[in-house]
Each structure stands twice: as structure tokens, then as C-alpha cells.
Amino acid sequence: MLLETDDVDASAQTSCVETALLASADNGHEQIVRMLLERGDVDANARDWLGETALIRAAKKGHEPVVRLLLERGDVDANAQSRVRETALFKAAGNWHEAVVRLLLQRSDVSANAQGLGQYRETVLTTAAESGHEAVVRLLLERDDVDVSAQDKWGRTALIRAAIHGHEAIVRLLLDRDDVDANAQDKQGGTALMWAAGRGHEAVVRLLLGRDAVGVNTQDKHGRTALMWAATIRSAVVKVLLADRRVDVNVKDKKGRTALMLAKSKGTSALLRVRNI
């Protein structure tokens, strides 16, 4: 009834820069969104005080029908970014809305590599990898343009972030790609193997050791290897590493300490007896 009134302003804003379209998209009111989009005087790309558009807000909440309606509009900016550079795809992936992610990735003009300005400067892929959302990672990896080497604020790739949290299935997915650098190092010099070893993720360590090109003796900026990372915790990972003959037990860090010395300082030296060190 209101929209049939001649003098109604369908794009009117509240003091919080809220429009009818933004509010209805945020709440998943499909029919109201449809009515508003049928009008020529409604700005489909209007932004709220956070810089979020109707598409971003609908994607964030997982309102698939509303996202579909908005994407059918030729003038909707599918790559619009909020004030912290988060896109609809970024929001959907971060909130585990697989169906919405699939919808967005079907559009060739949607960037699969958007990077937010949040605490860690994540990309869509690094966020999905860290959260353990295998289905979303699969969808992203199906895109030819996805950058699997993209790094967050700390220099961590999707592989490193998946390894940190022990997401075996995602690590396997990433390692199946020829363009994934299994030896990528973050700003601290940590690799996926070091992080998995240091966190005690045995299955992930085994996966990484299965790659011939993985640097088992790579050192971080302190000179520590994956064995050194594992030696300071009570973990079966130590035995897994020592079973690999490529692992050099005599590597010293920048303070001249070996894995055995580090283990003794933490009371875990018994774990290193597997190789009769």
C-alpha cells in the first residue's frame, strides 16, 4: 500500500543510513525485496553505516533467495566491499553459508580473492581453510582464478592455517593441487609442517611428510625445525617425525640448541629415544 502512494520515497534513509531494501534483505524478506527491486527509484547498491550493501547483508545471514534476487539485477555490484573490504562472498564463506557461496561463485565477475581488513587480513580461502569448512574450500578451489598462495597479515597461507587447526581433509585438498607451496613460510618462518607438529596434529603431519618436496628440516626465523617444535610438547608427532629418515636430529637453532636439548628443558626428552639420540 505504501509503495502505491505517489509521493513515497522508497529509498528513504534512517539516521543510521538504513533503507527499506537493506532492512528487508537483512531479515530475509524475499517478497518485500522483490517488490522494492521492481521499482526504478530504489538504489540496489545503497550502503549502511558499515558500508554494507543489501547483497552483503543477505549473504552474511545466508538468505539464499534474497541473494538470488539481487544477483538477477544487472546493476547490483557483486564485488561491493564494506568499510573493512569484506564482500558478499567473504561474509557468506565466513559464516558457513555454502549455498550462498555456490551462488556467488557461479558468477565470473565475483572475485574469489577478496581480502578483508580485519584483524588478520584474511582472504576468503584462508578464512574457510581455518574454519574447517571443507565444502566451501572445495567450491573455491574449483575456481581457476583462486589464489591458493594468498597470505594473511601474518604471512600464513590457507595450507598453513588449515594445518594449525588440524583440518586434515582441507590439508589433503590443498596438497592435491600442483600450485600449492607445501613449504611456504609465514612471517615467523613457520611452515605447515612446523605448525602441525607444534600443535600435535599427527594426521596432518603424516600427510605433509607424504610429500617428497616437503622440507622436513626447514628452519624458522629462530632456527627451529618441525622436530624442535614437536619436541617441546608431549605428542606422538615426535615419533612420526623420527620415523622419517630425512629428519636431521642434530640441526641446531640460533642459540645452538638441538631438539634433544629443547626436549630436556621441557621434560619431554623421553620421546626422542625412538632414534636412540
Question: According to the model, what pLDDT value does residue 7 have?
Answer: 78
User: What pLDDT is recorded for position 117?
Assistant: 60
Q: What is the mean pLDDT of residues 6-14?
A: 75
How many other CB atoms are there within 10 angstroms of residue 160's CB atom? 29
Average pLDDT of the residues in 211-224: 94
Q: Is residue 99 part of a domain?
A: no
pLDDT band at 234 (very low <50, low <70, confident <90, very high): low
Q: What is the CATH number of the domain that holds 211?
A: 1.25.40.20
pLDDT for res 244: 92
- Distance CA(249)–CA(193), nearest Å, equals 16
The answer to whether residue 98 sits within a structural domain is no
Dihedral sign for Cα 152, 158, 160, 161, please: positive
3-class SS of residue 68: helix
Residue of 24, 18, 115 lying closest to 67 (CA atoms): 24
- The overall average pLDDT reported for the chain is 89
The vertex-238 CA angle with 185 and 164, nearest 5°, equals 40
Q: Is residue 183 part of a domain?
A: no
- Exposed, middle or buried: residue 210 (CB in 10 Å: 0-12, 13-18, 19+)? exposed
Query: Tell me: the pLDDT tens digits for 79-129?
Result: 999 998 899 999 999 888 999 999 999 988 898 887 776 555 788 999 899
Residue 229 included in any domain: yes
pLDDT at 71: 95
- Residue 274 falls within a domain, yes or no? yes
Q: Is residue 201 situated within a structural domain?
A: yes
For the stretch 13-47, what's the b/e string if a residue is b when 16 or more beta carbons lie within 10 angstroms of its beta carbon? eeeeeebbbbbbbbebbbebbebbbeeeebbbebb
Q: How many helices (H) and strands (E) does the chain have?
A: 15, 0
Nine-digit cell string for 132:
574447517
What is the percent of the chain with per-residue pLDDT over 70, rounded to a whole number? 93
CB 22 within 8 A of CB 54: yes
In terms of Cα–Cα distance, which of 15, 9, 25 is closest to 91?
A: 25
184-198 per-position pLDDT tens digit? 999 999 999 999 999
Q: What is the pTM of this model?
A: 0.85
- Please give the residue range of the domain that contains residue 256: 190-277
The radius of gyration of the chain's CA atoms, rounded to the nearest angstrom, is 24
| Number of domains forming the structure of the chain | 1
| Residue 114 maps to a domain | no
Residue 101 lies in a domain: no
Specify the DSSP class assigned to residue 256.
S
Q: At 81, list the grid cell.
A: 566491499
Amino acid code (one letter) for 256: G
